[in-house]
Amino acid sequence: MLVNGKLMEDYFNWLPWQVVINEPFRVTSTNNRFQLVAKVTGGGVNAQAEAIRHGIARALIEFDSGLKATLRRNGLVTRDSRIKESKKYGLKRARRAPQYTKR
């Protein structure tokens, strides 16, 4: 597995991140059957690991549509829909108001 041109073990050097990435293969019993080359940008390292996991799950569904039920049952097909909240007019950030001064 290559991630951004590095081995997965070097790019994701913390074991829980590696477990997250390998979860679709573990669930579908397809360990060591595929070569993986992934490019990820943005977010944090944990978000990148989860994005790769989601991409692997989608690729496995393209490869064999019979795996979709297994992957869905384990929550690997659903996209994380959280996005950054936009800044509001008159505020410093999305919800942070300017400091109130009484005097």
**Which tens digit of pLDDT belongs to each residue from 7-65?**
999 999 999 999 999 999 999 999 999 999 999 999 899 999 999 999 999 999 999 99
* Helix (H) / strand (E) containing 2: strand 2-3
Judge whether residue 72 has pLDDT over 90: yes
3, β-bridge pairs: 6, 38
Q: Which helix (H) or strand (E) covers residue 71, if one does?
A: helix 68-73
**Of all helices (H) and strands (E), which one includes residue 15?**
helix 15-28
**Chain center to CA of 91:** 31
Can you give the pLDDT at residue 52? Answer: 97
User: 38 and 2 in contact (C-beta within 8 Å)?
Assistant: yes
Query: pTM of the predicted model, to two decimals?
Result: 0.85
For residue 69, is pLDDT > 90?
yes
